Amino acid sequence: MHEILSLNHVTFTYAPEEPTVKKAVEDVSFHVEEGEWIAIVGHNGSGKSTIARLISGLLFPQSGTVNVLGQTLSEENLWESRSQIGMVFQNPDNQFVGATVQDDVAFALENNGVPYEDMVERVHEALKQVKMDDFLNHEPQHLSGGQKQRVAIAGALALRPRLLILDEATSMLDPQGRQEVLSVVRDLREKTGLTVLSITHDLEEAVMADRLLFMNGGKKYAEGTPSEIFALGDQLIELGLDLPFAMKLTKLLQAESVQLQGENMTEEQLVNDLWTSNFKK
Amino acid sequence: MMDKMIFGRFIPGDSFVHRLDPRSKLIFVFAFIIVVFLANNTPTYIVLLAFTLLVILMSRIKLYFLINGLKPIIILMVFTFLLHIFFTKEGPLIFEWKFIHIYEQGLRQGIYISIRFLVLVFVTSILTLTTSPISITDGMEVLLGPLKKFKLPVHELALMMSISLRFIPTLMDETDKIMKAQMARGSDITTGPIKDRIKAVVPLLVPLFVSAFKRAEDLATAMEVRGYRGGEGRTRYRQLKWSIEDTVALLSIVVITAILVYLRS
Ligand SMILES: Nc1ncnc2c1ncn2[C@@H]1O[C@H](COP(=O)(O)OP(=O)(O)OP(=O)(O)O)[C@@H](O)[C@H]1O
Ligand SMILES: [Mg+2]
């Protein structure tokens, strides 16, 4: 396996002159391997977006290093590194630059000086990957939020990045839009093995990741597979994080002395658990 | 009322004029504005009118629609016509009734000025009606390209234009939402004395500005992350194609100029 990204003892504060102000990110280290899906969870203001900004070189750490594809991020390799990273933000409207869907997808390609013939091919390919290829000439105001986010993902994919960062990309969408976006990301990973770093409050989304990073007050509180993290149970709730719905239901059912085996992080697992345990009776 | 107004609106279509390159259309309109001033007698004005009608015909935009949409401007035109009729006192008197005296030169000048006004408004409207704002921006960017040598930030201006155009509907929606939110809180913008109404607009503008700045900041971040660093080394996805039709359109202007120079007195 190949390392895509690593943070080493990264510390960042928005107010470097005032040492009394709490640091937005404090001594955070983690690494991401190629092909992994890693999710960062944590309550509001725990430093998640700041980490994303540090990775994309919008901010530089006061101490520690950020390494993208084996290179320490600096002013010199900033733009090269950005061309390897695709990033999708929260608000679907505020990241749509182009006049139409295809113009928007081409934006990053234009910036990187990709020749015209290549661009046409890549725009079509990227839009096909997010299933928006029927909307080439649509204007943003005629698209739903989920569609706009898929276009934003296509805009990131067109550059063929090694890493896709989603900063609460689904949090402004309705359940259907959220499903659309998540299923696109899942498909992409299956087909292309894209590395994904998603920042999210949506626990169903977090459960889909291979590994979770739990942030609390600018520090990394815990790191592990979703089942390891959610096994923390009450500790999580104390720190402002909820448990996935299926897990809470499992706990309640167990309290009512229904025989259940696992922790059931997803609805599907819970349903399977329910019928198998009923079957055994 | 706003729906009928066609000044600055774009009507998609597939006519000869629609398909022309925005560059040739812009040059055409610019040249036409100058050429119009060559006309100075009846035959030349007839030629101008006929030529304008031909342009309208080729754009397949209905004359009725055009006149209807430009009503406010036509009223202005009638007004200038009347001014000329009543206040130019040259040539033989052709009509007299009580205090109204109309002289031949007055009538002539009135008609000429009106035609000039009409053809200018029609031809520029045809440009905006048949060209999407973003294409006009593209065309301008290329045509103004040489001015980059004089440190004019042509690319930046064009990008600013296209982003503003892109955000107009978004901000309109937002204004609507804020207006409804403030109305739900009891603010009243549509009735009452002007002073109260202006006061009621303030709580509408403040949130609108705050959110517009937030949007601008988000957009700037998104653009930077997507590798935007100015016009240098950038390629273009929106390609402009100059075809034989474009050359024909520009030649027609040359022909018209020749005819006007020949006919003018
Ligand atoms: N531009 C800024 N200037 C000053 N302080 C900031 C700025 N952006 C964030 N902060 C502060 O840094 C801390 C971490 O913010 P960050 O945006 O990274 O949190 P987050 O985990 O993304 O929160 P959320 O879930 O609300 O998006 C917060 O205390 C916040 O108040
Ligand atoms: Mg955030």
Contact A73, A80 (CB under 8 A): no
For residue A53, the ligand closest to its alpha carbon is 1
- What pLDDT was estimated at residue A28? 94
Q: What is the mean pLDDT of chain A?
A: 89
A171/A254: higher pLDDT: A171
ipTM for the predicted complex comes to 0.87
How far lies B36's CA from each of A103, B56, B111, in Å?
37, 16, 14
Nearest CA residue ID for atom 18, ligand 1: A47
Helix (H, G, I), strand (E, B) or coil at A138: coil
Domain ranges of chain B: 1-131+240-265
Q: What is the mean pLDDT of chain B?
A: 88
Q: Using a 6 Å cutoff on CB, does residue A23 contact ligand 1?
A: no
Å from CA of A48 to ligand 2 middle = 6
Q: Does B4 score more than 70 pLDDT?
A: no
Q: Does A209 score more than 60 pLDDT?
A: yes
Provide the pLDDT confidence category of residue B45 given band limits of 50, 70 and 90: very high
Q: What is the atom index within ligand 1 of the atom nearest the CA of A168?
A: 27
Provide the pLDDT confidence category of residue B3 given band limits of 50, 70 and 90: low
Helix (H, G, I), strand (E, B) or coil at B56: helix
Provide the pLDDT confidence category of residue B1 given band limits of 50, 70 and 90: very low
Residue of A nearest to B163 (CA): A97
Please choose from A26, A41, A46 the residue to mutate so as to test ligand 1's pocket, defined by most ligand atoms within 8 A of CB: A46
A25/A245: higher pLDDT: A25
- What pLDDT was estimated at residue A1? 63
pLDDT tens, position by position, A44-83: 889 999 999 999 999 999 999 999 998 899 988 999 999 9
Sign, CA dihedral A165-A169-A171-A174, equals negative
Q: Using a 6 Å cutoff on CB, does residue A92 contact ligand 1?
A: no
Å from CA of A157 to ligand 2 middle = 22
Q: What is the mean pLDDT of residues B96-115?
A: 83
Q: How far is A156 from chain B (nearest CA, A)?
A: 8
- What pLDDT was estimated at residue B203? 84
How far lies B252's CA from each of A6, B2, B54, B264, in Å?
64, 34, 11, 18
Residue to test with chain A: of B237, B239, B241, most A Cβ within 10 A: B237
Q: Does A183 score more than 80 pLDDT?
A: yes
Nearest CA residue ID for atom 16, ligand 1: A47
Q: Does A124 score more than 80 pLDDT?
A: yes
Q: Using a 6 Å cutoff on CB, does residue A123 contact ligand 1?
A: no
B231/A178: higher pLDDT: A178
- Which residues of chain B are within 8 Å of residue A58 when distances are taken between CB atoms? 221, 224-225
Percent of chain B at pLDDT > 70 equals 97
Q: Is B162 on the interface with A (CB under 8 A)?
A: yes
- What pLDDT was estimated at residue A167? 93
The helices-and-strands tally (H runs, E runs) of chain B is: 10, 2
- What pLDDT was estimated at residue B2? 47
Contact B215, B222 (CB under 8 A): no
Q: What is the mean pLDDT of residues B130-145?
A: 90
- What pLDDT was estimated at residue B5? 65
Task: Give me the count of residues in chain B.
Answer: 265
Which segment, A263-277, B86-100, B128-142, is predicted with the most confidence on average? B128-142
Percent of chain A at pLDDT > 90 equals 56
pLDDT tens, position by position, A256-277: 877 777 777 777 888 888 888 8
Q: What is the mean pLDDT of residues A98-108?
A: 92
Q: Using a 6 Å cutoff on CB, does residue A95 contact ligand 1?
A: no
Closest residue by Cα to residue B49 from B130, B124, B123: B123
Q: Using a 6 Å cutoff on CB, does residue A82 contact ligand 1?
A: no
What are φ and ψ of residue B36, in 5° steps? -55, -35
pLDDT tens, position by position, B175-203: 989 988 888 888 777 777 888 888 888 88
Closest residue by Cα to residue B48 from B265, B263, B245, B250: B263
